[in-house]
């Protein structure tokens, strides 16, 4: 294919929600409120777990790391989305687009691995309670956390490397609310079947494998809990998993439909709505799910607020 007459695109226009042009300022205020709440909530959980010695357990160790990763996960996309809602020039450079994709996907992958580690932690705590302190030692917790971060940061490298070599000669309008692999690949001026295949394989291994591991953990947990003779014991066992399972269902319920597919099969508005769920809604809900449904975190927050004099 002759590329001699092509002019390389150096920046892209992110269209966002083109059908909602008349309410941009209201969307900006709503998204800003959601973003500030997300950042404050996740930062609060991270600090409370770090400061309260009673929460220095493997489960809350992973919760705090998940909250910390959410800070970067939302910062990768939402600030640019906010800027685009107020600006008529909704542009992003090619390198900026690739960086946004990298951080969004690397931190998203880190979240997948952390959710899997949390499911394994709950499996050991409920199914092997006598061996739990030995099996889930502080050293193993640290190694798992480091592995989650390294695996996440390395995850999108191959996809980013492949897409950075593609020619983009126009159009340059990204039909999405932020830069992402599928809408960017649709703008390339050459065959992208290899990129789509690599993207599908990596996402399938990353998303499906972690989801199946989580599912297996919960199947074992449910089988164990059903053998508990007392109703109170069953409620206590399930209550320790409720927050985590809620987050898993919301997060995986959207990314499975978005990324584990070989070809485009949804409308643009449907894809934008899915993107809002996993990029905005899930990080926003996580602090509420882990704090409102968790008595220990709520009590730890009260202790810390009393310690600094906010509560009497």
List the domain boundaries for the chain. 11-308
- Percent with pLDDT over 90 in the chain: 47
pLDDT of 140 over the 50 cut: yes
Average pLDDT over residues 155-184: 90
User: Rounded to the nearest 5 degrees, what angle is found at the Cα of 115, between the Cα atoms of 185 and 253?
Assistant: 55
> ω into residue 248 within 30 of 0, thus cis?
no
Phi first, then psi: what are they for 173, rounded to 5°? Answer: -95, 110
Which pLDDT score, from 0 to 100, does residue 265 have? 53
DSSP 77: T
- Percent with pLDDT over 70 in the chain: 95
Average pLDDT over residues 89-102: 93
Of residues 14 and 232, which shows the higher confidence score?
Answer: 14
DSSP 305: H
Phi first, then psi: what are they for 167, rounded to 5°? Answer: -85, 135
Say which CATH superfamily domain 11-308 falls into: Rhodopsin 7-helix transmembrane proteins (1.20.1070.10)
pLDDT bucket at 111, cuts 50 / 70 / 90: very high
Burial of residue 12 (number of CB atoms within 10 Å: 0-12, 13-18, 19+)? buried
pLDDT bucket at 72, cuts 50 / 70 / 90: very high
Which pLDDT score, from 0 to 100, does residue 5 have? 54
Which pLDDT score, from 0 to 100, does residue 7 have? 60
pLDDT bucket at 1, cuts 50 / 70 / 90: very low
Strand segments (E) across the chain: 11-14, 91-93, 173-174
Q: Taking a C-beta distance cutoff of 8 angstroms, is the pair 69, 107 a contact?
A: yes
CA distance 117 to 58: 10
CA distance 261 to 246: 24
Average pLDDT over residues 285-291: 85
pLDDT bucket at 291, cuts 50 / 70 / 90: confident
pLDDT of 22 over the 80 cut: no
Average pLDDT over residues 28-45: 94
- Which of these, 30, 28, 18, lies nearest to 81 by C-alpha position? 28
pLDDT of 269 over the 80 cut: no
- Which of these, 8, 14, 218, lies nearest to 125 by C-alpha position? 218
DSSP 18: G
């Amino acid at each position: 294919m002759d590329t001699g007459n092509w002019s390389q695109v150096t920046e892209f226009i992110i269209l966002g929600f083109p059908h909602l042009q008349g309410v941009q300022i209201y969307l900006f205020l709503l998204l800003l409120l959601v973003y500030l709440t997300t950042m404050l909530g996740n930062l609060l959980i991270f600090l409370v777990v770090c400061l309260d010695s009673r929460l220095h357990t493997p489960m809350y160790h992973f919760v705090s790391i998940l909250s910390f990763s959410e800070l970067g996960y939302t910062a990768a996309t939402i600030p640019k989305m906010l800027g685009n809602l107020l600006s008529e020039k909704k542009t992003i450079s090619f390198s900026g687009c690739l960086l946004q994709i990298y951080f969004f996907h690397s931190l998203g992958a880190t979240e997948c691995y952390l959710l899997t580690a949390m499911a394994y932690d709950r499996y050991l705590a409920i199914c092997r309670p006598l061996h739990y302190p030995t099996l889930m030692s502080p050293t193993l917790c640290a190694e798992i956390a480091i592995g989650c971060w390294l695996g996440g940061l390395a995850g999108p490298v191959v996809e980013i490397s492949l897409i950075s070599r593609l020619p983009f000669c126009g159009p340059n309008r990204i039909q999405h609310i932020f830069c992402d692999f599928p809408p960017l690949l649709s703008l390339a001026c050459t065959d992208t079947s290899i990129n789509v295949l690599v993207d599908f394989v990596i996402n399938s291994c990353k998303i499906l494998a972690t989801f199946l591991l989580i599912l297996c953990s919960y199947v074992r947990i449910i089988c164990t809990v059903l053998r508990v003779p007392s109703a109170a014991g069953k409620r206590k066992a399930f209550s320790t998993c409720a927050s985590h399972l809620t987050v898993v269902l919301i997060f995986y319920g959207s990314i499975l439909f978005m990324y584990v597919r070989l070809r485009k099969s949804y409308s643009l508005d449907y894809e934008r709505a899915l993107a809002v769920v996993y990029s905005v809604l899930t990080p926003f809900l996580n602090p509420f799910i882990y704090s409102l449904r968790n008595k220990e975190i709520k009590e730890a927050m009260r202790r810390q607020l009393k310690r600094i004099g906010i509560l009497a």
